[in-house]
Structure 1
Amino acid sequence: MSTTAANSHTSNVWPVIKKLLMSFSSVLCLFWLVVAIFGPSMAPHNVGQVVSDQIFGPISSQFLLGTDYLGRDNLSRILVATRYTVGLALVASVLSSMVGTLIALLAVISPKSVEVVILRVIDALISIPSKMMALVIVAGFGSSVPLLIMTAVLGYAPGAFRIAYSLALNQNEMEYVKVAMIRGEGRLYIAIREILPNILNPVLADFGLRFVFIVLLLSGLSFLGLGIQPPNADLGSLVRENIGGLSQGAPALLAPACAIGLLTVGVNLVIDRISRQRNER
Protein backbone atom coordinates (compact mmCIF):
# COMPACT_ATOMS: atom_id res chain seq x y z
CA MET A 1 0.00 0.00 0.00
CA SER A 2 2.84 2.38 0.92
CA THR A 3 4.62 1.58 -2.35
CA THR A 4 1.47 2.39 -4.33
CA ALA A 5 1.07 5.64 -2.43
CA ALA A 6 4.72 6.57 -3.09
CA ASN A 7 4.35 5.87 -6.79
CA SER A 8 1.17 7.92 -6.88
CA HIS A 9 2.90 10.78 -5.09
CA THR A 10 5.82 10.65 -7.54
CA SER A 11 3.47 10.65 -10.53
CA ASN A 12 1.68 13.69 -9.11
CA VAL A 13 4.89 15.60 -8.36
CA TRP A 14 6.61 15.06 -11.72
CA PRO A 15 4.11 17.09 -13.83
CA VAL A 16 4.48 19.97 -11.34
CA ILE A 17 8.29 19.84 -11.69
CA LYS A 18 7.99 19.83 -15.48
CA LYS A 19 5.71 22.85 -15.41
CA LEU A 20 8.11 24.70 -13.11
CA LEU A 21 11.04 23.94 -15.42
CA MET A 22 9.07 25.09 -18.44
CA SER A 23 8.08 28.32 -16.71
CA PHE A 24 11.65 28.87 -15.49
CA SER A 25 13.11 28.35 -18.97
CA SER A 26 10.59 30.71 -20.58
CA VAL A 27 11.17 33.41 -17.98
CA LEU A 28 14.95 32.99 -18.30
CA CYS A 29 14.90 33.36 -22.09
CA LEU A 30 12.53 36.31 -21.88
CA PHE A 31 14.79 37.93 -19.28
CA TRP A 32 17.87 37.72 -21.51
CA LEU A 33 15.91 39.00 -24.49
CA VAL A 34 14.74 42.03 -22.49
CA VAL A 35 18.29 42.65 -21.26
CA ALA A 36 19.63 42.44 -24.82
CA ILE A 37 17.05 44.96 -26.06
CA PHE A 38 16.84 47.41 -23.16
CA GLY A 39 20.05 46.67 -21.22
CA PRO A 40 22.17 49.62 -22.42
CA SER A 41 19.40 52.10 -21.56
CA MET A 42 19.09 50.57 -18.05
CA ALA A 43 22.83 50.74 -17.30
CA PRO A 44 23.37 52.90 -14.18
CA HIS A 45 26.75 54.19 -15.41
CA ASN A 46 28.51 54.89 -18.67
CA VAL A 47 29.97 51.60 -19.86
CA GLY A 48 33.54 52.95 -20.11
CA GLN A 49 33.48 55.28 -17.09
CA VAL A 50 35.80 54.56 -14.16
CA VAL A 51 33.52 55.01 -11.17
CA SER A 52 35.57 53.58 -8.30
CA ASP A 53 39.14 53.61 -7.05
CA GLN A 54 38.77 49.97 -6.02
CA ILE A 55 39.50 47.35 -8.67
CA PHE A 56 37.65 44.03 -8.50
CA GLY A 57 35.39 45.60 -5.90
CA PRO A 58 32.84 43.41 -4.07
CA ILE A 59 29.08 43.51 -4.46
CA SER A 60 27.65 46.54 -2.69
CA SER A 61 24.57 48.75 -2.67
CA GLN A 62 26.37 51.19 -4.99
CA PHE A 63 27.75 48.56 -7.38
CA LEU A 64 25.36 45.60 -7.50
CA LEU A 65 27.85 43.34 -9.32
CA GLY A 66 31.05 44.94 -8.10
CA THR A 67 33.68 46.71 -10.19
CA ASP A 68 36.04 45.40 -12.85
CA TYR A 69 39.81 45.49 -13.28
CA LEU A 70 39.76 49.25 -13.97
CA GLY A 71 37.12 50.22 -11.42
CA ARG A 72 34.21 50.38 -13.88
CA ASP A 73 30.70 49.33 -12.90
CA ASN A 74 30.38 45.65 -13.76
CA LEU A 75 26.57 45.66 -13.97
CA SER A 76 26.63 48.38 -16.63
CA ARG A 77 29.19 46.48 -18.68
CA ILE A 78 27.18 43.23 -18.49
CA LEU A 79 23.97 45.00 -19.53
CA VAL A 80 25.73 46.34 -22.64
CA ALA A 81 27.75 43.18 -23.36
CA THR A 82 24.62 41.01 -23.35
CA ARG A 83 23.33 42.85 -26.43
CA TYR A 84 26.44 41.82 -28.36
CA THR A 85 26.34 38.21 -27.16
CA VAL A 86 22.62 37.66 -27.75
CA GLY A 87 22.38 39.87 -30.84
CA LEU A 88 25.31 38.36 -32.74
CA ALA A 89 24.35 34.80 -31.82
CA LEU A 90 20.71 35.38 -32.79
CA VAL A 91 21.56 36.88 -36.19
CA ALA A 92 24.16 34.20 -36.92
CA SER A 93 21.89 31.32 -35.86
CA VAL A 94 18.95 32.66 -37.92
CA LEU A 95 21.19 32.96 -40.98
CA SER A 96 22.73 29.51 -40.35
CA SER A 97 19.33 27.83 -40.13
CA MET A 98 17.93 29.74 -43.11
CA VAL A 99 20.94 29.06 -45.34
CA GLY A 100 21.16 25.40 -44.32
CA THR A 101 17.42 24.80 -44.79
CA LEU A 102 17.21 26.57 -48.15
CA ILE A 103 20.21 24.69 -49.52
CA ALA A 104 18.71 21.43 -48.23
CA LEU A 105 15.44 22.13 -50.03
CA LEU A 106 17.39 23.03 -53.16
CA ALA A 107 19.31 19.76 -52.97
CA VAL A 108 16.15 17.68 -52.56
CA ILE A 109 14.36 19.19 -55.56
CA SER A 110 17.45 19.40 -57.81
CA PRO A 111 18.61 16.82 -60.37
CA LYS A 112 20.80 14.06 -58.94
CA SER A 113 24.04 15.51 -60.33
CA VAL A 114 23.43 18.88 -58.65
CA GLU A 115 22.41 17.17 -55.40
CA VAL A 116 25.65 15.17 -55.33
CA VAL A 117 27.77 18.31 -55.83
CA ILE A 118 25.94 20.10 -52.99
CA LEU A 119 26.40 17.11 -50.67
CA ARG A 120 30.13 16.88 -51.42
CA VAL A 121 30.65 20.59 -50.73
CA ILE A 122 28.72 20.34 -47.45
CA ASP A 123 30.71 17.23 -46.47
CA ALA A 124 33.94 19.17 -47.04
CA LEU A 125 32.75 22.07 -44.88
CA ILE A 126 31.32 19.92 -42.09
CA SER A 127 34.58 17.97 -41.80
CA ILE A 128 36.37 21.14 -40.62
CA PRO A 129 35.90 21.77 -36.88
CA SER A 130 33.93 25.00 -36.47
CA LYS A 131 36.24 26.43 -33.81
CA MET A 132 39.33 25.74 -35.91
CA MET A 133 37.69 27.35 -38.95
CA ALA A 134 36.72 30.39 -36.87
CA LEU A 135 40.24 30.79 -35.46
CA VAL A 136 41.80 30.63 -38.94
CA ILE A 137 39.33 33.10 -40.50
CA VAL A 138 39.44 35.64 -37.66
CA ALA A 139 43.22 35.39 -37.26
CA GLY A 140 43.69 35.83 -41.00
CA PHE A 141 41.19 38.61 -41.76
CA GLY A 142 40.85 40.40 -38.44
CA SER A 143 37.88 40.69 -36.13
CA SER A 144 34.74 42.64 -36.96
CA VAL A 145 31.03 42.11 -36.33
CA PRO A 146 30.18 41.14 -39.95
CA LEU A 147 33.16 38.76 -40.09
CA LEU A 148 32.19 37.10 -36.80
CA ILE A 149 28.64 36.55 -38.09
CA MET A 150 29.93 35.19 -41.42
CA THR A 151 32.34 32.88 -39.60
CA ALA A 152 29.58 31.48 -37.38
CA VAL A 153 27.28 30.96 -40.38
CA LEU A 154 30.02 29.21 -42.33
CA GLY A 155 30.76 26.97 -39.36
CA TYR A 156 27.19 25.99 -38.44
CA ALA A 157 25.13 26.21 -41.64
CA PRO A 158 26.43 22.78 -42.80
CA GLY A 159 25.07 21.15 -39.64
CA ALA A 160 21.72 22.86 -40.14
CA PHE A 161 21.78 21.61 -43.75
CA ARG A 162 22.29 18.02 -42.64
CA ILE A 163 19.30 18.11 -40.29
CA ALA A 164 17.03 19.84 -42.81
CA TYR A 165 18.19 17.62 -45.68
CA SER A 166 17.43 14.37 -43.86
CA LEU A 167 13.97 15.68 -42.91
CA ALA A 168 13.23 17.01 -46.39
CA LEU A 169 14.42 13.79 -48.01
CA ASN A 170 11.93 11.79 -45.95
CA GLN A 171 9.10 14.21 -46.72
CA ASN A 172 9.93 14.11 -50.43
CA GLU A 173 8.90 10.44 -50.48
CA MET A 174 5.52 11.05 -48.87
CA GLU A 175 2.28 10.61 -50.77
CA TYR A 176 1.19 14.25 -50.58
CA VAL A 177 4.37 15.25 -52.44
CA LYS A 178 3.69 12.62 -55.13
CA VAL A 179 0.14 13.97 -55.46
CA ALA A 180 1.50 17.51 -55.89
CA MET A 181 3.85 16.26 -58.62
CA ILE A 182 0.96 14.52 -60.40
CA ARG A 183 -1.03 17.78 -60.21
CA GLY A 184 1.81 19.37 -62.15
CA GLU A 185 3.12 21.62 -59.38
CA GLY A 186 6.62 23.03 -59.88
CA ARG A 187 9.64 21.93 -57.83
CA LEU A 188 9.87 25.29 -56.06
CA TYR A 189 6.20 25.17 -55.07
CA ILE A 190 6.60 21.66 -53.68
CA ALA A 191 9.67 22.67 -51.66
CA ILE A 192 8.15 25.84 -50.16
CA ARG A 193 4.48 24.93 -49.82
CA GLU A 194 4.57 21.17 -49.24
CA ILE A 195 7.91 20.12 -47.71
CA LEU A 196 9.00 23.18 -45.68
CA PRO A 197 5.89 23.45 -43.42
CA ASN A 198 6.26 19.78 -42.47
CA ILE A 199 9.90 20.08 -41.38
CA LEU A 200 9.57 23.47 -39.67
CA ASN A 201 9.19 22.27 -36.06
CA PRO A 202 12.37 20.10 -36.02
CA VAL A 203 14.23 22.87 -37.84
CA LEU A 204 13.18 25.36 -35.15
CA ALA A 205 14.40 23.00 -32.42
CA ASP A 206 17.72 22.69 -34.27
CA PHE A 207 17.83 26.49 -34.55
CA GLY A 208 17.84 26.67 -30.75
CA LEU A 209 20.83 24.34 -30.61
CA ARG A 210 22.65 26.44 -33.24
CA PHE A 211 22.05 29.49 -31.05
CA VAL A 212 23.66 27.83 -28.03
CA PHE A 213 26.63 26.59 -30.10
CA ILE A 214 27.19 30.05 -31.58
CA VAL A 215 26.99 31.75 -28.17
CA LEU A 216 29.73 29.43 -26.93
CA LEU A 217 31.79 29.89 -30.12
CA LEU A 218 31.67 33.69 -30.03
CA SER A 219 32.30 33.77 -26.28
CA GLY A 220 35.30 31.47 -26.77
CA LEU A 221 36.70 33.70 -29.52
CA SER A 222 36.26 36.77 -27.33
CA PHE A 223 37.97 35.01 -24.43
CA LEU A 224 40.95 34.42 -26.74
CA GLY A 225 40.93 38.07 -27.79
CA LEU A 226 39.66 37.35 -31.30
CA GLY A 227 36.01 38.31 -30.84
CA ILE A 228 34.42 41.69 -30.10
CA GLN A 229 37.20 44.24 -29.79
CA PRO A 230 37.55 47.11 -27.27
CA PRO A 231 36.00 49.52 -26.45
CA ASN A 232 33.04 47.21 -27.14
CA ALA A 233 32.69 43.90 -25.29
CA ASP A 234 30.52 40.82 -25.09
CA LEU A 235 30.21 38.43 -22.15
CA GLY A 236 33.24 36.41 -23.27
CA SER A 237 35.33 39.58 -23.42
CA LEU A 238 34.32 40.47 -19.86
CA VAL A 239 35.52 37.08 -18.62
CA ARG A 240 38.86 37.51 -20.42
CA GLU A 241 39.58 41.05 -19.28
CA ASN A 242 38.77 40.25 -15.63
CA ILE A 243 40.67 36.95 -15.47
CA GLY A 244 43.08 38.61 -13.03
CA GLY A 245 40.34 38.49 -10.40
CA LEU A 246 40.08 34.70 -10.50
CA SER A 247 42.14 34.19 -7.34
CA GLN A 248 39.90 36.65 -5.48
CA GLY A 249 36.63 35.20 -6.77
CA ALA A 250 35.79 38.66 -8.10
CA PRO A 251 32.17 39.28 -9.16
CA ALA A 252 33.58 40.99 -12.28
CA LEU A 253 34.75 37.56 -13.46
CA LEU A 254 32.04 35.31 -12.02
CA ALA A 255 29.02 37.40 -13.12
CA PRO A 256 29.63 37.29 -16.91
CA ALA A 257 30.62 33.61 -16.71
CA CYS A 258 27.37 32.83 -14.87
CA ALA A 259 25.46 34.95 -17.41
CA ILE A 260 26.77 32.80 -20.27
CA GLY A 261 25.80 29.67 -18.34
CA LEU A 262 22.28 30.87 -17.52
CA LEU A 263 21.70 31.99 -21.12
CA THR A 264 22.66 28.61 -22.57
CA VAL A 265 20.78 26.66 -19.88
CA GLY A 266 17.61 28.68 -20.48
CA VAL A 267 17.70 28.14 -24.24
CA ASN A 268 18.49 24.43 -23.79
CA LEU A 269 15.47 23.99 -21.52
CA VAL A 270 13.22 25.69 -24.09
CA ILE A 271 14.60 23.43 -26.84
CA ASP A 272 13.94 20.39 -24.68
CA ARG A 273 10.39 21.62 -24.09
CA ILE A 274 9.77 22.06 -27.85
CA SER A 275 11.21 18.62 -28.63
CA ARG A 276 9.09 16.98 -25.94
CA GLN A 277 5.89 18.62 -27.17
CA ARG A 278 6.68 17.50 -30.71
CA ASN A 279 7.21 13.93 -29.56
CA GLU A 280 3.94 13.94 -27.59
CA ARG A 281 2.09 14.85 -30.78
Structure 2
Amino acid sequence: MTDLLRRLLRTPQGAIGSALLLLLLLLCIAGPALAPRDPEAIDFLGRFRPPGAENWLGADQLGRDVLSRLMTGARATIPLALLATLLGTLAGAVIGTLSAYLGGRWDEAIMRNIDAVMAIPGLLLALLLVSSLGKGSLNATLAIAVAFTPGMARVTRSVALNVRAQDYVKAALARGEGSLFIVLREMLPNVVGPVVVETTIRVAFAVMLFATMSFLGLGAQPPAPEWGLMVAEARRFVHQAPWIILAPALAIAVTAIAFNLLGDGLRDALNPRDER
Protein backbone atom coordinates (compact mmCIF):
# COMPACT_ATOMS: atom_id res chain seq x y z
CA MET A 1 0.00 0.00 0.00
CA THR A 2 2.86 2.39 0.84
CA ASP A 3 4.56 1.58 -2.46
CA LEU A 4 1.30 2.17 -4.35
CA LEU A 5 0.83 5.53 -2.64
CA ARG A 6 4.42 6.50 -3.46
CA ARG A 7 3.96 5.66 -7.13
CA LEU A 8 0.61 7.47 -7.17
CA LEU A 9 2.06 10.69 -5.74
CA ARG A 10 5.03 10.47 -8.10
CA THR A 11 2.79 11.13 -11.09
CA PRO A 12 1.62 14.74 -11.62
CA GLN A 13 -2.01 13.75 -12.16
CA GLY A 14 -1.99 11.52 -9.09
CA ALA A 15 -0.46 14.22 -6.88
CA ILE A 16 -2.86 16.93 -8.08
CA GLY A 17 -5.88 14.61 -7.87
CA SER A 18 -4.94 13.49 -4.36
CA ALA A 19 -4.47 17.09 -3.20
CA LEU A 20 -7.85 18.12 -4.59
CA LEU A 21 -9.54 15.10 -3.01
CA LEU A 22 -8.00 15.90 0.37
CA LEU A 23 -9.50 19.38 0.10
CA LEU A 24 -12.89 17.91 -0.85
CA LEU A 25 -12.64 15.44 2.04
CA LEU A 26 -11.99 18.33 4.41
CA LEU A 27 -15.09 20.09 3.08
CA CYS A 28 -17.20 16.96 3.54
CA ILE A 29 -16.03 16.46 7.12
CA ALA A 30 -15.67 20.01 8.43
CA GLY A 31 -17.44 22.12 5.81
CA PRO A 32 -20.49 23.01 7.93
CA ALA A 33 -18.27 23.85 10.91
CA LEU A 34 -15.93 26.01 8.81
CA ALA A 35 -18.71 27.84 6.97
CA PRO A 36 -18.61 31.54 7.90
CA ARG A 37 -22.41 31.90 8.00
CA ASP A 38 -25.58 29.88 8.39
CA PRO A 39 -26.23 28.46 4.90
CA GLU A 40 -30.00 28.72 5.38
CA ALA A 41 -30.06 32.26 6.86
CA ILE A 42 -32.16 34.54 4.63
CA ASP A 43 -31.26 38.20 4.29
CA PHE A 44 -33.56 40.03 1.88
CA LEU A 45 -31.54 43.23 2.24
CA GLY A 46 -28.48 41.37 0.97
CA ARG A 47 -30.06 39.82 -2.13
CA PHE A 48 -27.59 39.51 -5.03
CA ARG A 49 -24.79 41.05 -2.97
CA PRO A 50 -21.62 40.79 -5.06
CA PRO A 51 -18.48 39.07 -3.75
CA GLY A 52 -16.77 41.14 -1.13
CA ALA A 53 -15.67 41.28 2.49
CA GLU A 54 -19.13 40.48 3.85
CA ASN A 55 -19.84 37.60 1.47
CA TRP A 56 -16.65 36.26 -0.11
CA LEU A 57 -18.49 34.56 -2.98
CA GLY A 58 -21.51 36.84 -2.89
CA ALA A 59 -25.10 36.20 -1.86
CA ASP A 60 -27.90 34.47 -3.76
CA GLN A 61 -31.44 35.52 -4.61
CA LEU A 62 -32.52 35.12 -0.97
CA GLY A 63 -29.46 36.77 0.52
CA ARG A 64 -27.91 33.46 1.60
CA ASP A 65 -24.13 33.26 1.68
CA VAL A 66 -22.92 31.35 -1.40
CA LEU A 67 -19.63 30.26 0.19
CA SER A 68 -21.39 28.79 3.23
CA ARG A 69 -23.87 26.92 1.05
CA LEU A 70 -21.02 25.68 -1.14
CA MET A 71 -19.03 24.38 1.84
CA THR A 72 -22.10 22.75 3.40
CA GLY A 73 -23.25 21.29 0.08
CA ALA A 74 -20.10 19.21 -0.32
CA ARG A 75 -21.49 16.83 2.30
CA ALA A 76 -24.74 16.53 0.34
CA THR A 77 -23.07 15.89 -3.03
CA ILE A 78 -19.80 13.96 -2.84
CA PRO A 79 -20.68 11.17 -0.32
CA LEU A 80 -23.84 10.28 -2.23
CA ALA A 81 -21.91 10.15 -5.49
CA LEU A 82 -19.34 7.86 -3.84
CA LEU A 83 -22.09 5.66 -2.40
CA ALA A 84 -23.86 5.33 -5.75
CA THR A 85 -20.60 4.46 -7.50
CA LEU A 86 -19.62 1.90 -4.87
CA LEU A 87 -23.03 0.21 -5.02
CA GLY A 88 -22.91 0.08 -8.82
CA THR A 89 -19.32 -1.16 -8.75
CA LEU A 90 -20.05 -3.91 -6.24
CA ALA A 91 -23.10 -5.16 -8.11
CA GLY A 92 -21.36 -4.96 -11.48
CA ALA A 93 -18.21 -6.66 -10.20
CA VAL A 94 -20.16 -9.60 -8.78
CA ILE A 95 -22.26 -9.99 -11.94
CA GLY A 96 -19.25 -9.71 -14.26
CA THR A 97 -17.11 -12.12 -12.25
CA LEU A 98 -19.96 -14.63 -11.94
CA SER A 99 -20.61 -14.44 -15.67
CA ALA A 100 -16.92 -15.06 -16.48
CA TYR A 101 -16.80 -17.99 -14.04
CA LEU A 102 -19.95 -19.71 -15.33
CA GLY A 103 -19.09 -19.28 -19.02
CA GLY A 104 -20.99 -20.95 -21.83
CA ARG A 105 -24.71 -20.31 -22.12
CA TRP A 106 -24.93 -18.62 -18.73
CA ASP A 107 -22.28 -16.12 -19.73
CA GLU A 108 -24.01 -15.51 -23.04
CA ALA A 109 -27.42 -14.98 -21.39
CA ILE A 110 -26.06 -12.62 -18.71
CA MET A 111 -24.03 -10.54 -21.13
CA ARG A 112 -26.83 -10.21 -23.68
CA ASN A 113 -29.09 -8.84 -20.93
CA ILE A 114 -26.31 -6.49 -19.86
CA ASP A 115 -25.93 -5.32 -23.47
CA ALA A 116 -29.67 -4.68 -23.66
CA VAL A 117 -29.54 -2.47 -20.56
CA MET A 118 -26.40 -0.69 -21.80
CA ALA A 119 -28.27 0.25 -24.98
CA ILE A 120 -30.16 2.77 -22.84
CA PRO A 121 -28.04 5.88 -22.13
CA GLY A 122 -27.00 6.05 -18.48
CA LEU A 123 -28.57 9.45 -17.84
CA LEU A 124 -31.86 8.40 -19.45
CA LEU A 125 -31.93 5.16 -17.43
CA ALA A 126 -31.26 7.06 -14.19
CA LEU A 127 -33.99 9.58 -14.99
CA LEU A 128 -36.47 6.79 -15.75
CA LEU A 129 -35.68 5.06 -12.47
CA VAL A 130 -35.95 8.25 -10.42
CA SER A 131 -39.24 9.06 -12.11
CA SER A 132 -40.53 5.63 -11.09
CA LEU A 133 -39.10 5.61 -7.56
CA GLY A 134 -39.88 9.24 -6.75
CA LYS A 135 -37.87 12.38 -6.11
CA GLY A 136 -35.15 12.50 -3.46
CA SER A 137 -31.44 12.00 -2.89
CA LEU A 138 -31.76 8.34 -1.82
CA ASN A 139 -33.73 7.37 -4.91
CA ALA A 140 -31.24 9.27 -7.08
CA THR A 141 -28.42 7.30 -5.44
CA LEU A 142 -30.11 3.98 -6.21
CA ALA A 143 -30.88 5.06 -9.78
CA ILE A 144 -27.26 6.02 -10.49
CA ALA A 145 -26.04 2.76 -8.93
CA VAL A 146 -28.32 0.75 -11.22
CA ALA A 147 -27.24 2.82 -14.24
CA PHE A 148 -23.56 2.14 -13.46
CA THR A 149 -23.97 -1.60 -12.87
CA PRO A 150 -24.02 -2.83 -16.53
CA GLY A 151 -20.87 -0.96 -17.50
CA MET A 152 -18.99 -2.20 -14.43
CA ALA A 153 -20.17 -5.74 -15.15
CA ARG A 154 -18.78 -5.54 -18.67
CA VAL A 155 -15.42 -4.16 -17.47
CA THR A 156 -15.13 -6.73 -14.68
CA ARG A 157 -15.98 -9.65 -16.96
CA SER A 158 -13.23 -8.71 -19.40
CA VAL A 159 -10.68 -8.90 -16.56
CA ALA A 160 -12.23 -11.94 -14.88
CA LEU A 161 -11.97 -14.01 -18.07
CA ASN A 162 -8.18 -13.89 -17.71
CA VAL A 163 -8.37 -14.61 -13.99
CA ARG A 164 -10.63 -17.63 -14.67
CA ALA A 165 -7.74 -19.36 -16.49
CA GLN A 166 -5.24 -18.89 -13.65
CA ASP A 167 -3.83 -21.84 -11.69
CA TYR A 168 -5.22 -20.76 -8.31
CA VAL A 169 -8.76 -20.89 -9.69
CA LYS A 170 -8.11 -24.34 -11.13
CA ALA A 171 -6.70 -25.40 -7.75
CA ALA A 172 -9.86 -24.19 -6.01
CA LEU A 173 -11.95 -26.18 -8.47
CA ALA A 174 -9.80 -29.26 -7.83
CA ARG A 175 -10.32 -28.84 -4.06
CA GLY A 176 -14.05 -28.96 -4.65
CA GLU A 177 -14.75 -25.41 -3.54
CA GLY A 178 -18.22 -24.05 -4.25
CA SER A 179 -18.93 -21.57 -7.03
CA LEU A 180 -19.77 -18.77 -4.61
CA PHE A 181 -16.49 -19.25 -2.73
CA ILE A 182 -14.45 -19.21 -5.94
CA VAL A 183 -16.17 -16.10 -7.27
CA LEU A 184 -15.98 -14.11 -4.03
CA ARG A 185 -12.68 -15.33 -2.56
CA GLU A 186 -10.53 -16.35 -5.51
CA MET A 187 -11.60 -14.32 -8.54
CA LEU A 188 -13.14 -11.10 -7.26
CA PRO A 189 -10.09 -9.92 -5.23
CA ASN A 190 -7.89 -10.38 -8.30
CA VAL A 191 -9.92 -8.07 -10.54
CA VAL A 192 -9.75 -5.18 -8.07
CA GLY A 193 -7.01 -3.18 -9.82
CA PRO A 194 -8.76 -2.28 -13.10
CA VAL A 195 -12.11 -2.03 -11.29
CA VAL A 196 -10.73 0.54 -8.82
CA VAL A 197 -9.43 2.70 -11.67
CA GLU A 198 -12.79 2.51 -13.43
CA THR A 199 -14.57 3.32 -10.18
CA THR A 200 -12.63 6.52 -9.53
CA ILE A 201 -13.42 7.74 -13.03
CA ARG A 202 -17.11 6.91 -12.66
CA VAL A 203 -17.35 8.92 -9.44
CA ALA A 204 -16.87 12.01 -11.60
CA PHE A 205 -19.82 10.94 -13.76
CA ALA A 206 -21.87 10.25 -10.62
CA VAL A 207 -21.26 13.79 -9.35
CA MET A 208 -22.40 15.21 -12.68
CA LEU A 209 -25.43 12.89 -12.78
CA PHE A 210 -26.45 13.99 -9.29
CA ALA A 211 -26.08 17.60 -10.34
CA THR A 212 -28.14 16.95 -13.48
CA MET A 213 -30.98 15.27 -11.58
CA SER A 214 -31.01 18.00 -8.95
CA PHE A 215 -31.00 20.56 -11.77
CA LEU A 216 -34.08 18.84 -13.21
CA GLY A 217 -35.78 18.72 -9.81
CA LEU A 218 -35.49 14.94 -9.37
CA GLY A 219 -32.64 14.83 -6.85
CA ALA A 220 -32.14 16.97 -3.77
CA GLN A 221 -35.05 19.25 -2.95
CA PRO A 222 -35.00 22.87 -1.71
CA PRO A 223 -33.69 24.31 0.52
CA ALA A 224 -30.86 21.73 0.52
CA PRO A 225 -27.50 23.31 -0.39
CA GLU A 226 -26.75 20.67 -3.02
CA TRP A 227 -24.51 21.94 -5.81
CA GLY A 228 -26.71 20.87 -8.70
CA LEU A 229 -29.76 22.33 -7.00
CA MET A 230 -27.84 25.59 -6.44
CA VAL A 231 -27.16 25.76 -10.18
CA ALA A 232 -30.83 25.07 -10.95
CA GLU A 233 -32.03 27.80 -8.60
CA ALA A 234 -29.50 30.32 -9.93
CA ARG A 235 -30.08 29.84 -13.65
CA ARG A 236 -32.87 32.45 -13.71
CA PHE A 237 -30.53 35.08 -12.30
CA VAL A 238 -27.39 34.32 -14.32
CA HIS A 239 -27.44 37.72 -16.06
CA GLN A 240 -28.18 39.58 -12.85
CA ALA A 241 -25.75 37.78 -10.53
CA PRO A 242 -23.45 35.35 -12.41
CA TRP A 243 -21.46 34.50 -9.27
CA ILE A 244 -24.45 32.53 -7.92
CA ILE A 245 -24.14 29.94 -10.68
CA LEU A 246 -20.38 30.09 -11.25
CA ALA A 247 -19.43 28.96 -7.73
CA PRO A 248 -21.37 25.63 -7.63
CA ALA A 249 -20.63 24.95 -11.31
CA LEU A 250 -16.90 25.31 -10.67
CA ALA A 251 -17.19 23.10 -7.58
CA ILE A 252 -18.80 20.34 -9.68
CA ALA A 253 -16.12 20.75 -12.37
CA VAL A 254 -13.24 20.62 -9.86
CA THR A 255 -14.68 17.50 -8.22
CA ALA A 256 -15.01 15.75 -11.58
CA ILE A 257 -11.46 16.76 -12.55
CA ALA A 258 -10.08 15.54 -9.20
CA PHE A 259 -11.53 12.05 -9.56
CA ASN A 260 -10.47 11.83 -13.21
CA LEU A 261 -6.92 12.79 -12.30
CA LEU A 262 -6.91 10.26 -9.47
CA GLY A 263 -8.11 7.57 -11.86
CA ASP A 264 -5.31 8.38 -14.31
CA GLY A 265 -2.78 8.33 -11.47
CA LEU A 266 -4.03 4.98 -10.18
CA ARG A 267 -3.91 3.52 -13.67
CA ASP A 268 -0.23 4.43 -13.94
CA ALA A 269 0.56 3.38 -10.36
CA LEU A 270 -1.05 -0.03 -10.79
CA ASN A 271 0.80 -0.68 -14.05
CA PRO A 272 4.02 -2.62 -13.22
CA ARG A 273 5.64 -1.45 -16.44
CA ASP A 274 5.66 2.09 -15.09
CA GLU A 275 7.82 1.15 -12.13
CA ARG A 276 10.99 1.95 -14.08
TM-score (norm 2): 0.89
Query: Quick one: distance in 2 between partners of 1:121 and 1:230?
Result: 38
Asked if the contact 1:57–1:250 (Cα under 8 Å) also holds between the matched residues in 2, the reply is no
Which residue among 70, 93, 99 is the counterpart of 1:78? 70
* Aligned residue in 2 for 1:117: 109
Q: Does 1:272 align with 2:245?
A: no
Tell me, in whole angstroms, the C-alpha distance in 1 between the residues paired with 2:174 and 2:222: 59
Q: Work out the CA distance in 2 between the residues paired with 1:96 and 1:78.
A: 27
The letter for the 2-side match of 1:243 is: R
The Cα of 1:158 is off from its aligned counterpart by: 0.6
Distance between the aligned counterparts of 1:114 and 1:145, measured in 2?
35
Tell me which residue corresponds to 1:10.
Answer: none
Give the superposition deviation at 1:20. Answer: 4.7
Task: Give the greater-gyration-radius structure (CA).
Answer: 1
How far residue 108 of structure 1 moved from its aligned partner, in angstroms, is 2.5
Q: How far off its partner does 1:194 sit?
A: 2.4
CA RMSD of aligned residues (A): 2.1
Conservation of the 8 A alpha-carbon contact between 1:58 and 1:250: no
Q: What's 1:176 paired with?
A: 168
Name which of 52, 76, 89 aligns with 2:81.
Answer: 89
Shift of 1:266: 0.9
Contact 2:127-2:143 at 8 Å conserved across structures = no
- 1:235 equivalent to 2:227? Answer yes
**Contact 2:50–2:241 (CA under 8 A) maintained in structure 1:** no
Over the matched positions of the two proteins, sequence identity in percent amounts to: 35
Change (3 A) 1:243 1:52: same
Write the deviation string for residues 141-161 of structure 1: whole angstroms up to 9, x where unpaired.
Answer: 421122111110111111011
Distance apart, 1:186 and its partner CA: 2.9
Counterpart Cα distance in 1 of 2:265 and 2:133: 39
Structure 2 vs 1, CA of residues 209 and 49 (structure 1 numbering), >3 Å: closer, same or farther? same
2:111 and 2:13 mapped to 1: Cα distance? 39
Matched letter for residue 239 of structure 1: V
- Whether 1:130 and 2:122 are equivalent positions in the alignment is yes
- Please give the alpha-carbon distance, in whole angstroms, between the structure 2 residues aligned to 1:109 and 1:19: 35
Are the counterparts in 1 of residues 76 and 225 from structure 2 also a CA contact under 8 Å? yes
- Comparing 254-263 with 77-86, greater Cα deviation is found at 77-86
Residue 34 of structure 1: how far off its partner (Å): 1.5
CA drift of 1:170 comes to 1.4
CA contact (8 A) 1:122 1:158 kept: yes
Q: Out of 197, 204, 215, which is 1:212 matched to? A: 204
Match of 1:48 in 2: 40
Deviations along 1:99-136, whole A, 9 cap, x unmatched? 10111222233363433332232122111111112222
* 1:22 and 2:14 aligned: yes
- Structure 1 counterpart of 2:159, one-letter code: L
For residues 201 and 18 of structure 1, the distance between their equivalents in structure 2, rounded to whole angstroms, comes to 18
CA-CA distance at 1:208 after TM superposition:
0.7
Alignment gaps of 5+ in structure 2:
1-8
Query: Deviations for 1:55-111, whole angstroms, at most 9, x for unmatched residues?
Result: 222111221111011111111111121111101101100101001011122223336
Matches within 5 A, 1:236-255: 236-248=228-240, 250-255=242-247
**Does the 8 A contact of 1:56 with 1:68 survive in 2?**
yes
Indicate which of 189, 196, 199 corresponds to 2:181.
Answer: 189
Q: 3-state SS of the aligned residue for 2:116?
A: helix
Q: Tell me the distance in 1 between the aligned counterparts of 2:264 and 2:230.
A: 29
Distance 2:53 2:167 in 1: 65
Is residue 2:34 matched to residue 1:32?
A: no
Quote the Cα distance in structure 1 between the aligned partners of 2:149 and 2:233.
30
Q: Distance in 2 between matches of 1:256 and 1:233?
A: 10
Offset at residue 27 of structure 1 (A):
1.2
Between 104-113 and 231-240, report the one with greater CA deviation: 104-113
The residue number in structure 2 matching 1:7 is none
Cα offset for 1:139? 3.1
> Structure 1: which 5+ residue stretches go unaligned?
1-16
Question: 2:118·2:151 contact (CA, 8 Å) conserved in 1?
Answer: yes
